Amino acid sequence: MNDTVLRVNDLHVAYVKEDSVVEAVKGVDFSVSAGSVLAIIGGSGAGKSSVALAVAGLHDQRKARVTGKVILEHDDIIQMSEDQLDDIRGARVGMIFQDSRGALDPTMKVVNQVAEAIRRHHHLSREEARTEALKRLHSAGVAKDLLRHAPYAHQLSSGLCQRVMISIALAGDPILLVADEPTGSLDLTRQAQIMRLLRERVAASGLGMILITHDLGLATSIADDLLVMRGGSQVEYGPCEEVIKSPGHEYTNELFGLWRQTCFGKGKGHAHT
C-alpha cells in the first residue's frame, strides 16, 4: 500500500515563553503511508515529541507557535479550529502514551473505558459497545477472565495496560496512530510483544503509524522508514534499511555506532543512557 496518510512539510514548532522563544522543531519534512511505520529517533530534546504533538494537533496555541503543513489525507491539521481537531482526535488520529497506566482512569473499569471510546466513534448501544470492547481487548491479548478478577488499571501490569491503551487508541479505527515512547516503561519481552501487536494492527488495518522512540533497536525492528532528529532539525530521513546500511549524516553514523557497541559489545565501552 502506498497511499499517503500523512504529509508533513517544513514543520516548525516554537514554544513561546514570557521573555523568550524556544525553537523545538526547525523544518521537518516526511510522509507516512498506509500500512507503514515511520520511526522518529533522536536523543532527549531532539524535538521528537513536539513533532508528535503537532501531528496530533495537541499543541496549546497560546504556548506554542506551529507553522508549516501537516496534511492528514487532504486536511491541514495546523489550520484546523479546536472543534475540527476534536472531530479528528480518536476518529482519524489515535495516540498511545508512554505511561499507559497513568493514561487510564483509575476509577473506571478498563473494559468500560474501551467501550466508552468505541461508543464515541460508532453508533452502538452500551451493551454492544461492551461486547465489542471485550472482543477487541481479547484480540489485543487481554483475556476476559483476567478482567473479571482485575478490572481496574492499577490491578494490571504495565504491559496489559499498554494493550488496553492500544485498544482505546484504535477504538475509532483511525488512519494514523502516533505512539510516543509506547514501550518506555516495559521490560524487553513485553517491548517485543507490544511491538508485534502494533505491527499486526498496522498490517491488518492498513493504518499509518509514527513511532517516537530513542531506542534505535526498537525503531529498526518495526519501522519501514526512519527519521533521525537532532536539536530540533531533521538530519536523516529515508527507508529504514537504507539509513542503516549507509547513514548519510555524521550524527546518524555516531548513533548507529553507539547502538552497535551497546548491542554487540564492540569498541571500548557501553553507551548506556
Residues that bind another protein (CB under 8 A): 56, 58, 86, 89-91, 94-95, 97, 99, 102-109, 112, 116-117, 120-121, 146, 149-150, 152, 154-158, 160, 165, 168-169, 171-172
User: Which among 238, 212, 223, 208 has a CA at the least distance from the CA of 5?
Assistant: 208
Q: What number of other Cβ atoms are within 10 A of residue 201's Cβ?
A: 20
User: Between 207 and 226, whose beta carbon lies closer to another protein?
Assistant: 207
Integer CA distances (angstroms), 211 to 22, 67, 98, 168, 218, in order: 24, 22, 11, 17, 10
The strand pairing partners of 208, in sequence order, are 176
Q: How far is the CB of 180 from another protein (least distance, A)?
A: 10
Q: How far is the CB of 74 from another protein (least distance, A)?
A: 20
Q: How far is the CB of 209 from another protein (least distance, A)?
A: 16
Q: How far is the CB of 108 from another protein (least distance, A)?
A: 5
User: Between 94 and 141, whose beta carbon lies closer to another protein?
Assistant: 94
User: Between 115 and 243, whose beta carbon lies closer to another protein?
Assistant: 115
Q: How far is the CB of 133 from another protein (least distance, A)?
A: 14
User: Between 97 and 237, whose beta carbon lies closer to another protein?
Assistant: 97
User: Between 172 and 232, whose beta carbon lies closer to another protein?
Assistant: 172
User: Between 43 and 102, whose beta carbon lies closer to another protein?
Assistant: 102
Q: How far is the CB of 125 from another protein (least distance, A)?
A: 17
Distance between CA 40 and CA 46 in Å, rounded?
A: 10
Residues 208 and 5: beta-carbon distance below 8 Å: yes
User: Which among 57, 85, 63, 53 has a CA at the least distance from the CA of 14?
Assistant: 63
Q: How far is the CB of 176 from another protein (least distance, A)?
A: 13
User: Between 42 and 94, whose beta carbon lies closer to another protein?
Assistant: 94
User: Which among 173, 7, 2, 174 has a CA at the least distance from the CA of 74?
Assistant: 7
HSE-CB of 141 using CA atoms within 13 angstroms: 18
